[in-house]
Structure 1
């Protein structure tokens, strides 16, 4: 780790200097100060892996094509569907299988996060050998331009956090451009799985023990035939809060596979999961799963069948990723989540903040929506507003009365432009009408006086 005066300091060093947000200068306070010089210094000091700062919104998945299907053509199919990176699994790990994945990914301009059992099973080595094990593992893949990260653990118990933290630090010292990848449990994991009494404790210990580069979690909320988990939004409330307090980007796995008690999502339900996540400040979307896993009595459908055929969900994901998520995600990627409020909830889910109105949006009427608001610099008189349909099975028609300080509103067009929106009503109470298809969202930029 570099902490000498005149050199860049690491994320761990910054958190130590800031007291990790406990009474001293926390990272969010620097951003909230509006001091662009201080913000630039912090940004320059943070060692961010390439996957977190390459400019494209990260879109990935779990369960790639199996080794016999790890080909340039198969990975062209992945790129065609709008994905930006791949992760090992489904037999793709170690040695030749990883080499094939890296070759196929590089040929299609995809980033790749490898699984190597030397890293995931590093506890099998004496601790004094861990540094050399990590170094030799990296050396095997450093020739590939696609090599972008290593999957350290999936859904780890808190008892593994110290080990994960050591491996993360070793990886960061040797290759700060690589993503030390870990995916966390959801809120519905039990205390034995988490290794902590509560989920909040789990997040706190993870950040404190590991010093991660990002927060990734999975939460599968869509039950058969039509239910939604009670704690789905609460999981996002907790992760968003932790991400903002620590300056970490948050990623999520969305449900994209019929399995066990979970239904096969419709295209609208894919959009809904993505837009809920974006409204809560998500900086990376991952699909569970791409290829349909075994056994068939557990997993029935995903984007690609076990036989290698595209399913209707592949086409739906390709439309969403290419025509919506990539352009809209690129807009939201550099922004900071300022607020997330729910309007029109008949029975508000656990933990959500109910919309009450403020100087940017003073009131609302009509259908239930989620309002995610973002800023670039707090002192700047600009806000981005993502209005997401609360429903995945009905159209929303909502009218937002803008605050008196808002003078203009623009709507983002997927061509990459913000187009002026005509507002109804007098200058002191201009109304922005919004109509949303099931699961859909629209992004606006509000200009203050």
Structure 2
């Protein structure tokens, strides 16, 4: 699997340093999606330079020229987007341009022109979709986006851990976006909720793992953390500490995500290729990869589950990178998963 692990909302301008970007890389992250007041060409180029030193890629998502061009102007986007790409192309860390976050369906033709222009300039073209509760019929919304816009990946966000419970529509959206990605021959990317904010609670370690593992069961190849740095309180929405607090100190969840990425996600993803389908059987999700591999995931984040799978003889050990003999019955912890064959 060609896995991307991304962090959205990097350090603010005064914390945009090589050391801070190495801290991102140390968490097992390989792509930074900009924001957090990195809002002009000068600071973005500085961020690209810091990322380059840390071996990170950067998806430029906060160039104000792009936002105004895509949302407010009725002109051919190609000339300006070519200049924007040229501004960042000299950096090895430059990966591409985010053209729009959460577009409405009537914006798809405009977005398609932007995607074509960025692609013609030789860069990766990105946009991120609404969840279903913010659109009309979701199957039609995602399908039309894939058909009209023809993006480089199919990405969406939905944050399931609510202050008063769980968002029951989350897994349905995960499945819908993945199915349209399969039909269009595109990689599927999703966002992981890392923090509490208005109407949402702070996720536990098991809930962080559950988001990653349910995505792998569905064949997602892009894991994007929302957010990395804690958003400024002045932005509203009641954001609480993320992986890095507003004071610049790593929270406990930074360590959880670092270990999740480096000790589990990276080694397991290196084994995965040829996703074909996912089946939901009670409290278990089973993602099928190739002819033999099955990625078995606890569909619960609040309790363990007993699993019995016929024909299983070996399980992958991410600590050693090898397969060890195992039985057909095993227990998965809350949010946990196992790769078997």
Q: TM-score range by the shorter chain?
A: over 0.9
Deviation at 1:78, TM superposition (A): 0.4
**Structure-2 residue corresponding to 1:60:** 6
- Equivalent pairs counted in the alignment come to 337
Q: Is 1:132–2:79 an aligned residue pair?
A: yes
Distance in structure 1 (CA, Å) of the matches to 2:150 and 2:320: 35
Aligned residue for 1:145?
92
Question: So what's the TM-score if we normalise by structure 1?
Answer: 0.72
CA displacement at 1:392 relative to structure 2: 1.4
Asked if 1:389 is matched to 2:298, the reply is: yes
Whose relative contact order is higher, 1 or 2, with alpha carbons under 8 Å and at least 6 apart? 2
Find the aligned partners of 1:422 and 1:199 in 2 and give their Cα distance.
41
Instruction: Give, in whole Å, the separation in 2 of the partners of 1:297 and 1:120.
Output: 21
Unaligned runs of 5+ in 2: none
2:304 equivalent to 1:443: no
Task: Identify the residue that residue 65 of structure 2 maps to in structure 1.
Answer: 118
**Whole-Å separation in 1 of the counterparts to 2:73 and 2:10:** 28
Residue of structure 2 in register with 1:157 after alignment = 104
- Give me the whole-angstrom Cα distance separating, in 1, the residues matched to 2:6 and 2:227: 10
Tell me whether 1:99 sits opposite 2:50 in the alignment.
no
The aligned runs of 1:237-276 (5 Å cut-off) are 237-276=175-214
Q: 1:372 aligns with which of 271, 279, 287?
A: 287
- Judge conservation of contact 1:410–1:418 (CA < 8 Å) in 2: no
Alpha carbons 1:84, 1:111 under 8 Å: kept: yes
Listed as ranges, the matches of 1:220-235 within 5 Å are: 220-225=159-164, 227-235=165-173
In the other structure, the counterpart of 1:317 is 257
CA distance in 1, matches of 2:58, 2:189: 16
Q: Secondary structure at the match of 1:259?
A: coil
Correspondence for 2:310: 401
Matches within 5 A, 1:187-206: 187-189=132-134, 194=135, 197-206=136-145
In 1: Cα distance, 2:271 partner to 2:69 partner: 39
Q: 3-state SS of the aligned residue for 1:286?
A: strand
Provide the rounded CA distance (Å) in 2 between the counterparts of 1:111 and 1:229: 32
The answer to whether the 8 Å contact 1:389/1:441 transfers is: yes
- Does residue 182 of structure 1 match 2:120? no
CA distance, structure 2, for counterparts of residue 146 and residue 241 of structure 1: 31
Question: 1:165 aligns to what SS in structure 2?
Answer: helix
Shift of 1:56: 5.1
| Distance of 1:410 and 1:187 partners within structure 2 | 38
Deviation of the 1:230 alpha carbon: 1.4
| Distance in structure 2 (CA, Å) of the matches to 1:294 and 1:135 | 32
Please report how far the alpha carbon of residue 171 of structure 1 lies from its aligned counterpart in structure 2 after TM superposition. Answer: 1.2
Q: Report the equivalent of 2:153.
A: 214
Looking at structure 2, the residues matched to 292 and 102 of structure 1 have their Cα atoms a distance apart, in angstroms, of 20
Instruction: For residue 299 of structure 1, give the secondary structure of its aligned residue in structure 2.
Output: coil
Equivalent in the alignment of 1:360: none
- What's the CA shift for 1:322? 0.8
1:299 to 239, 244, 252: 239
8 Å Cα contact 2:49/2:91 also seen in 1: yes
Q: Matched residues in 2 for 1:101 and 1:117: separation? A: 16
Task: Provide the residue aligned with 1:9 in structure 2.
Answer: none
Gap runs ≥5 in structure 1: 1-54, 345-367, 376-381, 403-407, 424-431
The separation in 1 between residues aligned to 2:121 and 2:231, in whole angstroms, is 34
Q: Secondary structure at the match of 1:264?
A: coil
Residue aligned with 1:188, SS: helix
Q: 1:120–1:151: 8 Å Cα contact kept in structure 2?
A: no
8 Å CA contact retained: 2:125, 2:152: yes
Equivalences for 1:412-423 in 2 at 5 Å? Answer: 412-415=316-319, 417-423=321-327
